[in-house]
Structures are given as C-alpha cells and as structure tokens.
C-alpha cells in the first residue's frame, strides 16, 4: 500500500428506503484508497444495497456518495470510476472470454492493439491464459468468476466492487480464492470493496471490516479488533463463536474492572471499561480463551498466573455435550448455576480428546485480559 | 422430472385408450380434408359441380402468372411490415413490463392480453369505426390541421383551407394498421417471456463496464433476447401472411391479400382447383418460413 | 407516484418516454374498444356525436331474432367444441408424453399443423370436405351445427394438447408410481394423481378453446350452411352491409362476456398462470 491513506469513497448520511422498508439507515463511512474493505452482515442487512448504490444501480433516498472527490448523485453507472464483479458473475453468455474481457474497452473506444494487450495482461493476472476462445458455458463457476474479475480489472477502475464473490464456490475453492483475491488486490493496488455474509471470508481478506446490521454500521474495525474487541453483542455474536453473560458492573477503574454475573461468578478484567457503576452489562467470552481442567487442579494453575484476585475468573460445571472436530474439540458445559457455556480445546496431541468425556465434572478459568465487557 | 418414455407394446390397452381418439380425429377431420384439397389442386372443373382430378399442373402454372405472384409478394410485404411495426412498438412495451414493479407487472400483462381474448371481428370493427370519415381519427387530424392553420395566421401567413375528411379506410395503410392492431399482443408476449428470463445483472454489468443504455440494448439485450424475437416474429408473421378478415374489411380494391384471392376462387369465381392450388402454395410458404427458423435455431445450438 | 429519488438505471418504467410509450400503446389497443362501448349507448344513428344516453340499441339487438340465434349458436358451438377438444387434447397430450410408439414424430407433427396452417386453408379444406361427403345441412338444431363444431374441434384440440403437455412436463412420475405402489390400478392412478396435476392446464386449455371457437370467423364462414349462422358471421354481414348501432350493442355484450371470462380465469389461475399459457 503505497498510496497515502486518504478516502477514495465517502459515504455521507446515506439512507435507502424501498417503500416502507429501510434497507440502509443513515450510514456514514470512509473507504480509504488502496484498502481491502469488507461489508459484512447477515442477509438482508442492507450491505448489498449499499454496494449497489456505490456502483450506481440504486439511488440513495437520502445522503451523498462521493467517489474520488466527486459527488456521484447524478452520475450514471457507466460514467463512474468503479467496476463491479456480480454475485452471478454476469459473464455475457454470447461472447467468448476475450470478447467478454474486452467489452468495456471496446465500448470506450480503445484501439484494437491496446485492447489485445490489456486483455492478455488481465487474463494472465487471473491465471486464465489459454482460455481466450472459450465460451462461458464451457467453463466452471470458478473460471467464470475469473473472467468477471478480469473484465473489471482490465478497466483499471479506482475501486473494484465485489458482491458475494465466493458464495457460489465450493469450500476448497473458496479458501483458495480468498488468498488469491487478497494477493491480487496487493498486486494491482486497486481499492477492493467486498460484500459478504461469511465472517471467515471477511477476517481473512479484509484490511478493514464494516459489520452491518439492520441497515446500520455495527462496528468498523480491522479484522483482529473485530474479533478481539467487539463493540457490541451483535458483533461479538456474528463474528466467531462466543459465550455471552449478563451482569452488573461492580468495579471500574482505569486499570481494572469487575462484573458480577449470576451463575458464572465474578469476572475480573485487567483494564477499565468506562461504564457507569452498577450498570447492566454483558460479558463476552470466546470458547477458545477458556482453559479446561480436572477440578482442584485449576487453582494451582491460576495461582501461578496470579492475574486475578482469588475467586474471580473461575467456574465449575459438567460436560453435557462434546463434538470432536479434528483440530479442536468443542465442549458444551452446564455451569453450576444452570447456564450453558461453550469451551473449545485444541487437540495438541493425538490423545487430548480422551482427557474429558460426557458427565465429567470440570473446572474452568480464563485470563483477566480475555473477557470483553459490552455496554450494548 | 419425467422419467423415460414407456414403450407402447408394454401397455397396449392404456396406449390404445389414449391414442385412438386423437389419431382418429386427426386422420378423419384434418388429414382427409387437406388431402382432398391437395388432390383438387391437380384437378380441373369438369362441369358445374364436378371436379376431375386429372393430375394436371395447370393450376400451379396459372399461379405463376404475374398477377398472382405479385399478390403473393404483396402479402409478404404487408405481413413483413406489420411484423416490423409490431416489433418496434412491442419491444419497449415488453421491456416496460419486464422491469415494472412486481405489483404492476401482472396488470400490464393483463392489459396486453385482454384484447387478445376479445373477438377479432369486433376489434376490427371497433378500429374501423374509429377510422371512418366521421370517426375520431379524422376529428383528431382535423384538430391538428386547424391548429396548424391557426399557427400560420399567428406568423402572418394565410390560414390553410378548410379541413376535408380523408379516407383513412379501404387502403393499404388501413390494412397494415389493422394487422398491427390485431397482432401486437402476439408479439409482446413472447418478447416478454424472453426478456423475463434474461439475467438482469448482465444489463447491469454492461452499464458498469461503461456502455450506455443504447449500446447495452444492442450488444446485450437484443442478442440474448434473440430466441424470443424470432418467436415473436414467426408468431406474428405467419397469421399476418394468411390474414383474411382485415384486408377484406379494411382494405381497398388494391389491397387484397392472398387469402382474399383464395376465398374468391371458392365463392365468386367458383374455381375450386385453382383455389386449392393457391391454398397449398400458401401452406408451402409457411413451411419454408418455419424451416428457416428451425435451421437458424439449430445453428445457434451448434455454436 | 411522485418520488424524489433519482431514477435508477434499470427502473425503465419510471422513465417518461417509456411510460408514454406504454400509455400510447394501451391507448391504441383500448381506445377503439372503449369508444365502441360508449357509443353503443349513444342515442344517434350516426356514430360520432354524443346525443344522449339510450338503451334502445340493446333492446333492438336483443329483439333481433337472427342476431340472438347467432349468439346462441356461437355459444353452443363453443361449449360443445370446448368439451370435446378438452378430452381429445388431454388424451393426445398424455399419449405423446407417456408413450414411445412408431410414427410418433409424424403424429406429433401432424397435430401441430392445425395451429400453423392458415385459417383460410383450413376453411376451404372443410368446405370441400363437407361438400364431398355430402354432409347433411338440413338437420334440426343443434345437429345443424355439427359441421362447424367438428371444424372448431379440429383447430382447438391441438392448442389444448399443447397446454396440457407443457403442464405434464412438470409431473413427477414417482407420484404415479407411489399410487400404484399403494395399490391403485392404472386407471385409478390416472384419475387420482395425474388428473389433479393437469387440472390447471385443463382450465387454461378450456378457456383457450372456448375463446378460439367463439372468435373464429374465417373457418366458420366456409363451413356454415345457408341456415346456420354464428355470431361473428352475423356481425360480419352487418358490418359489410351497414354499420348500425345495433352492432355496437351486440359487440359490447360480447366484450363484457370476454372480460368476465378472463376475470374468472384470473380467479382460478392468477395472472401469471394465464400469461404462461401463451
């Protein structure tokens, strides 16, 4: 990323209503030049509508979209410096690969020789050399997607928009394309804006992610922050797996905080949360950040760590369910208070999954920097 | 989901039960009458009511006279012009229906279909009433004429002379207009079903890649809707070519089409063998058109 | 309809020229019919100037015995032709869909011919055929309509077969096999499983056949004897010789009949179902 971090797309108070349904509700955000930006959210959250408004296929009911310093309100899609890769790929079925990729250049009157060179270069970029004369119906879904990518990239847009680019691919190909897309973006240096409902996709490719819920931005952050520091229950729950407990904030100082959760006990944090004392809050705890051990053993482990006062960040329960997933094993544990908690444990050795089984009594602990306190 | 076809031998009784009635009907009341016409086309009048099937080719020879060839050509030209006008008028309508809001779409479709269900004769008659010398179309033209006249006086020119009603009916213009009026729904419906199947994101992709609406239309919409266009053209051209009622009621003496000539052989001229020959020539013309279409369809499949 | 949001690229129906185009086309299609209906109530012999409301032309039309007879004949023929076409058409569709048999292509091709062959050719074929076989023309009503009815069935049943066959394509044969597996005979399976599946197509086919029969002028014109007259043939002669307001009234009645039939079809099938028939 050589360019300075300045916004290439500015979305200003944009709303979109279809009749009585509000698809996008007063969103404002900046997308920076050269970044891989992902709009993540469940289906129907308005993320695709937002993307289509950037491309120019939908008009905002209110607000303004500025691309490269220019207001796009009256600019039709064919005059915008952005190109889109459609969810269905929208490869023209009556044209071969060369004609598909060269379509936009032909339309804008680029000379034949230049078209030939740029098409060849774009096909090379998406690893489709040798497919020049193929018709779309002779290609796999993954290959058609590469055609769609090349067709957009050959236009050298300021921003490339991708609508659910990997949703139609099978799992293996999807994983491969995640890497390839990120790699491609790095190579061409064009700003990518991708829409997806798949959190793995978002986390693995994005430089920044905007989580969208019910037409609003729930959180905008780099992937790691999204996972480790979710801003609210929606993000904590949507991105990754999480245990959420309701409690009261009993201690809140700059370097420590504590929450009293009925059923789970006292949770201690080694940083402040700046919430009102006594307020109702939620604590999010990721399954992999919980250590599992045989009862009694836990205290000794904890004593060595010494990062929380005695009686904090400890819980006991009974294993009610487990599923072995190969790399990890997932445990469903019923706490003494009756609530369920999910814990995942890496299978570091071949026999790790034999350590615990159904109906075993277990104790748990977690580090003081693991829980996240959520105010909403 | 339908599985393999059953061999008739494995279920002779059910097969006989379903197949006999349609085949019987078709043989007796379609193939037999058509066969008689075909035989008559090789016959000659042998008395006031008798026709002798002598195997003569005179009827077909007579059909190659310029008078009849020109009527064939003219019928074809009128039908082709009708089809073209239907295509030009119908395409935007089909586009509008395709891209209309879902709640409007069925009503627009119904709007196109309702005339299609209405009696042809009544529709032709209604159009004739509108186009008569005292009809509203003449009134509208008179209004335009007077408006033009008034505009002339504004700029200081002499007013136009008083409007005299024009004869809109009983000419070739009336025949084409009447045929377009009658056949427009035939064109719109297949166009709509082709456009409806078109993936809208292809149009968006074209716009996204810098093409304007016109270029997108010519390079993406038309090629991809081609099967629907061909279907619409055939479904309009074939009945227009064999049209009888419209030229009969709305045409003048010089706008008779082939169907009118055939009718004359059977009613006034009473030359059934010649009428039969003309009739089969018309059928052969249809076959050629359909053969062209299926050849084209096969070619598209091969590519 | 006022919407401040700018028009999105594919919102073609919000573009003014597109709206005007559709509006003008609809005007072109409907203005003649609507004016005809309005002027059927006009108290004037000459059609163009509104002289006041009257029902006298309806009275005249309904008292015109030959017009009423023609209408009754038309409806009778349409009803008879629809029923027979429905049976033959459905049987033909099932036969072609279900069985493989010798000369199948020939039967299939021949069956589509009545749809393709120009009406005028079919008309003269029936004229010659009924003359050749000396079909009796002096039978009592309704047998005197038999020639016309036969002709109508011939061009109606291939349409029914086409509609039913399209519907059969979506039939899951396993349903029929399941019925037989549960003990149904061939006939019971047909009646209880296949027939309910093709019912919408039968309704659509019946409406299509009824309309086609009621609509037909050319073939009837050639097939009808001197004493058997149908509504279109009667209207034709009235239009040919003198345009009277009576024709307006009679036409209005038939238009309303069509609209009512269409709306019944809508209730039964929904607009989409009707659209798919064509």
Same domain, A225 and A302: no
Q: Domain span at residue A359?
A: 243-374
C255·B122 Cβ contact <8 A: yes
Within a domain: C98: yes
Question: DSSP labels for C188-226?
Answer: HHIIIIIHHHHHHHHHHHHHHHHHHHHH--HHHHHH--S
Which residues, in sequence order, are bridge partners of residue A193? Answer: A37, A161
Is B223 touching A (CB cutoff 8 A)? Answer: yes
Q: Among the three residues A205, A237, A269, which one is the final residue of a domain in this structure?
A: A237
A49 contacts in chain C (CB < 8 Å): none
Which of C204, C213, C240, C275 has the most B C-beta neighbours within 10 Å, making it the best mutation to test the interface with B? C275
Into how many domains does chain B fold? Answer: 1
User: From the CA of A98, how many Å to the nearest CA of chain B?
Assistant: 15
Biggest distance spanned by C-alpha atoms of chain A: 78
Same domain, A255 and A343: yes
Same domain, A178 and A250: no
CA-to-CA distance for C253 and C265, rounded, in angstroms? Answer: 18
Same domain, A97 and A220: yes
CA-to-CA distance for C185 and A351, rounded, in angstroms? Answer: 61
- Asked if residue C41 lies in contact with residue B231, where contact means CB atoms within 8 angstroms, the answer is no
pLDDT by position in tens, chain B (length 303): 345 678 887 888 888 888 999 999 999 999 999 999 999 999 888 776 777 888 888 889 998 999 999 999 999 999 999 999 999 999 999 999 999 888 888 889 889 988 888 888 889 988 988 887 777 788 888 888 888 888 888 887 887 777 777 888 888 999 999 999 999 999 999 999 999 999 999 999 999 999 999 999 999 999 999 989 998 999 999 999 999 999 999 988 888 899 999 999 988 888 889 999 999 999 999 999 888 888 877 766 554
Within a domain: A16: yes
Residue C267 pLDDT grade (very low, low, confident, very high; cuts 50, 70, 90): confident
Position C1 scores a pLDDT of 41
Same domain, A221 and A251: no
Chains that touch B (3 or more CB pairs under 8 A): A, C
Q: How far is CA A80 from the centre of its chain?
A: 27
Position A70 scores a pLDDT of 92
Mean pLDDT of A208-222: 94
Within a domain: C39: no
Task: Specify the range with the lowest mean pLDDT, choosing from A172-181, B7-16, C92-101.
Answer: B7-16
Same domain, A222 and A105: yes
Same domain, A73 and A218: yes
User: From the CA of B190, how many Å to the nearest CA of chain C?
Assistant: 8
Q: Domain span at residue B250?
A: 61-132+168-302
pLDDT digits (tens, 9 = 90+) for C134-182: 888 777 778 888 999 999 999 999 999 999 998 898 888 888 888 888 8
Give how far Cα A125 sits from Cα of A122, A188, A193, C265, Å: 5, 9, 19, 57
Within a domain: A2: no
C75 contacts in chain B (CB < 8 Å): none
Q: Is the pLDDT of residue A3 over 50?
A: no
Within a domain: A1: no
Which of B205, B221, B223 has the most A C-beta neighbours within 10 Å, making it the best mutation to test the interface with A? B205
Same domain, A263 and A137: no
C5·A74 Cβ contact <8 A: no
Same domain, A353 and A304: yes
What CATH number should be reported for the domain holding residue C109? Answer: 1.10.3720.10
User: From the CA of C7, how many Å to the nearest CA of chain B?
Assistant: 13
Q: Domain span at residue C238?
A: 56-277
What CATH number should be reported for the domain holding residue A297? Answer: 2.40.50.100
Return the closest-CA partner of residue C97 out of C23, C30, C183, C194.
Answer: C194
Q: Tokens representing B143?
A: 């209004």
C29·B282 Cβ contact <8 A: no
Position B300 scores a pLDDT of 62
Within a domain: B192: yes
What CATH number should be reported for the domain holding residue B239? Answer: 1.10.3720.10
- Cβ neighbors of A111 (< 8 A, separation 6 or more) are none
Asked if the bond preceding A254 is cis, omega within 30° of 0, the reply is no
Same domain, A12 and A47: yes
Same domain, A190 and A281: no
B202 contacts in chain A (CB < 8 Å): 90, 92-93
Chains that touch C (3 or more CB pairs under 8 A): A, B
B135 contacts in chain C (CB < 8 Å): 47-48
C6 contacts in chain A (CB < 8 Å): 59, 73-74
Q: Among the three residues A183, A215, A237, which one is the final residue of a domain in this structure?
A: A237
B224·A93 Cβ contact <8 A: yes
Q: Is the pLDDT of residue C191 over 50?
A: yes
- C-alpha distance across the termini of chain C, in Å: 31
Within a domain: B158: no
Into how many domains does chain C fold? Answer: 1
C9·B207 Cβ contact <8 A: yes
Which of A80, A90, A91, A135 has the most B C-beta neighbours within 10 Å, making it the best mutation to test the interface with B? A90
Within a domain: B191: yes
B30·C110 Cβ contact <8 A: yes
Within a domain: A180: yes
Q: Does the CA dihedral A125-A126-A128-A133 come out positive or negative?
A: negative
A76·B207 Cβ contact <8 A: yes
Question: DSSP labels for C137-160?
Answer: S-PPTTGGGHHHHHHHHHHHHHHH
A74 contacts in chain C (CB < 8 Å): 6
Within a domain: C43: no
What CATH number should be reported for the domain holding residue A102? Answer: 3.40.50.300
- Cβ neighbors of B87 (< 8 A, separation 6 or more) are B187, B229, B232, B233, B236
C46 contacts in chain B (CB < 8 Å): 134
Within a domain: B160: no
User: From the CA of C179, how many Å to the nearest CA of chain B?
Assistant: 16
Into how many domains does chain A fold? Answer: 2
Which of C1, C2, C6 has the most A C-beta neighbours within 10 Å, making it the best mutation to test the interface with A? C6
Pairing of strands A159-163, A62-67: unpaired
Same domain, A230 and A96: yes
The 3-state secondary structure of C94-116 reads: HHHHHEECCCHHHHHHHHHHHHH
Within a domain: B66: yes
Q: Tokens representing A294?
A: 């045989």
- Asked if residue A32 lies in contact with residue A222, where contact means CB atoms within 8 angstroms, the answer is no
B223 contacts in chain A (CB < 8 Å): 94
Please name the member of C22, C111, C118 whose beta carbon is closest to the beta carbon of B93: C22
Tell whether pTM > 0.90.
Answer: no
C182, with CB counted inside 10 A (0-12, 13-18, 19+), is: exposed
């Amino acid at each position: 990323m050589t360019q300075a971090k300045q916004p290439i797309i500015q979305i200003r108070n944009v709303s979109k209503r279809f009749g009585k349904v509000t698809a996008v509700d007063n969103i404002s955000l900046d997308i920076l030049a050269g970044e891989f930006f992902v709009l993540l959210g469940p289906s129907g959250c308005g993320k695709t509508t937002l993307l289509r408004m950037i491309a120019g296929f939908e008009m905002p009911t209110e607000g303004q979209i500025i691309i490269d310093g220019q207001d796009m309100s009256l600019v039709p899609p064919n005059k915008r410096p952005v190109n889109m890769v459609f969810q269905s790929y929208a490869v023209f079925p009556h044209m071969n690969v060369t004609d598909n990729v060269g379509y936009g250049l032909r339309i804008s009157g680029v000379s034949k020789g230049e078209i030939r060179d740029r098409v060849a270069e774009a096909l090379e970029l998406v690893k489709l050399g040798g497919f020049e004369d193929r018709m779309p119906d002779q290609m796999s879904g993954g290959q058609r997607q590469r055609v769609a990518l090349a067709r957009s990239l050959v236009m050298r847009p300021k921003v490339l928009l991708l609508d659910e680019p990997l949703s139609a691919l099978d799992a293996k190909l999807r994983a491969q394309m995640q890497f390839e897309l990120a790699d491609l973006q790095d190579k061409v240096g064009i700003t990518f804006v991708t829409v997806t409902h798949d959190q793995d996709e978002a986390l693995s490719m994005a430089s920044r992610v905007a989580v969208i819920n019910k037409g609003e931005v729930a959180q905008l952050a780099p992937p790691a922050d999204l996972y480790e520091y979710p801003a609210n229950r929606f993000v904590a729950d949507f991105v990754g797996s999480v245990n959420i407990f309701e409690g009261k904030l009993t201690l809140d100082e700059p370097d420590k905080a504590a929450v009293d959760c009925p059923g789970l006990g006292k949770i201690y944090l080694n940083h402040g949360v700046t919430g009102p004392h006594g307020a109702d809050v939620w604590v999010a705890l990721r399954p992999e950040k919980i250590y599992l051990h045989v009862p009694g053993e836990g205290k000794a482990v904890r004593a060595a760590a010494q990062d929380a006062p005695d009686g904090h960040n400890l819980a006991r329960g009974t294993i009610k369910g487990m599923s072995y997933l190969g790399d990890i094993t997932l445990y469903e544990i019923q706490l003494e208070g009756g609530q369920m908690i999910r814990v995942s444990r890496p299978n570091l050795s071949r026999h790790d999954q034999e350590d615990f089984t159904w109906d075993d009594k277990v104790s748990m602990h977690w580090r003081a920097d693991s829980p996240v306190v959520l105010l909403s | 989901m339908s599985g393999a076809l059953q061999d008739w031998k494995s279920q002779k009784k059910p097969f006989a039960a379903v197949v006999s009635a349609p085949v019987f009907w078709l043989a007796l009341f379609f193939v037999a009458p058509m066969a008689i016409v075909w035989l008559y086309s090789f016959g000659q009048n042998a008395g006031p009511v008798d026709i002798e099937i002598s195997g003569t080719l005179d009827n077909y020879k007579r059909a190659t006279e310029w008078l009849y060839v020109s009527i064939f050509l003219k019928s074809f030209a009128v039908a082709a012009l009708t089809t073209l006008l239907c295509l030009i008028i119908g395409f935007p309508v089909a586009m509008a229906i395709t891209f209309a809001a879902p709640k409007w779409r069925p009503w627009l479709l119904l709007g196109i279909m309702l005339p299609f269900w209405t009696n042809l004769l009544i529709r032709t008659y209604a159009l004739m009433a509108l186009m008569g010398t005292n009809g509203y179309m003449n009134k509208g033209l008179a209004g335009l004429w007077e408006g033009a006249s008034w505009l002339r006086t504004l700029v200081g020119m002499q007013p136009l002379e008083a409007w005299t009603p024009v004869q809109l009916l009983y000419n070739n213009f009336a025949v084409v207009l009447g045929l377009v009026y009658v056949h427009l729904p035939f064109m719109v419906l297949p166009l709509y079903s082709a456009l409806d199947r078109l993936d809208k994101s292809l149009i968006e992709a074209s716009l996204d890649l810098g093409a304007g609406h016109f270029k997108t239309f010519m390079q993406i919409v038309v090629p991809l809707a081609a099967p629907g266009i061909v279907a619409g053209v055939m479904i309009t051209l074939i009945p227009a070519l064999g049209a009888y009622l419209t030229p009969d009621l709305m045409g003048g003496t010089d706008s008779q089409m082939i169907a009118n000539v055939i009718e004359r052989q059977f009613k006034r001229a009473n030359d059934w063998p010649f009428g039969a020959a003309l009739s089969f020539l018309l059928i052969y013309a249809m076959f050629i058109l359909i053969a062209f279409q299926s050849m084209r369809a096969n070619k598209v499949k091969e590519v | 309809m006022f919407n401040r949001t700018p028009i999105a690229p594919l919102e073609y129906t919000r573009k003014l020229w597109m709206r005007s185009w559709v509006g003008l086309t609809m005007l072109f299609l409907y203005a003649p019919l609507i004016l005809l209906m309005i002027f059927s109530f006009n108290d004037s012999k000459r059609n163009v100037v509104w002289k006041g409301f009257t029902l006298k032309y309806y009275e005249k039309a309904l008292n015109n015995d030959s017009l009423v007879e023609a209408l009754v004949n038309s409806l009778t023929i349409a009803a008879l032709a629809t029923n027979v076409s429905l049976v033959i058409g459905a049987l033909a569709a099932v036969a072609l869909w279900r069985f493989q048999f010798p000369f199948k292509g020939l039967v299939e091709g021949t069956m589509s011919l009545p749809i393709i062959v120009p009406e005028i050719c079919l008309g003269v074929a029936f004229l010659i055929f009924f003359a050749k076989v000396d079909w009796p023309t002096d039978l009592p009503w309704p047998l005197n309509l038999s020639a016309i009815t036969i002709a109508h069935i011939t061009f109606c049943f291939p349409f029914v077969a086409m509609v039913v066959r399209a519907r059969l394509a979506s039939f899951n044969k396993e349903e029929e096999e399941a019925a037989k597996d549960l003990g149904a005979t061939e006939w019971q399976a047909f009646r209880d499983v296949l027939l309910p599946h093709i019912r919408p197509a039968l309704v659509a086919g019946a409406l299509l056949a009824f309309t086609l029969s009621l609509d037909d002028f050319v073939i009837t014109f050639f097939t009808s004897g001197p004493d058997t007259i149908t509504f279109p043939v009667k209207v034709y002669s009235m239009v040919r010789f003198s345009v009277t307001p009576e024709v307006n009234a009679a036409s209005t009645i038939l238009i309303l009949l069509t609209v009512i039939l269409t709306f019944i079809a809508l209730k039964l099938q929904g607009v989409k179902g009707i659209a798919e028939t064509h």
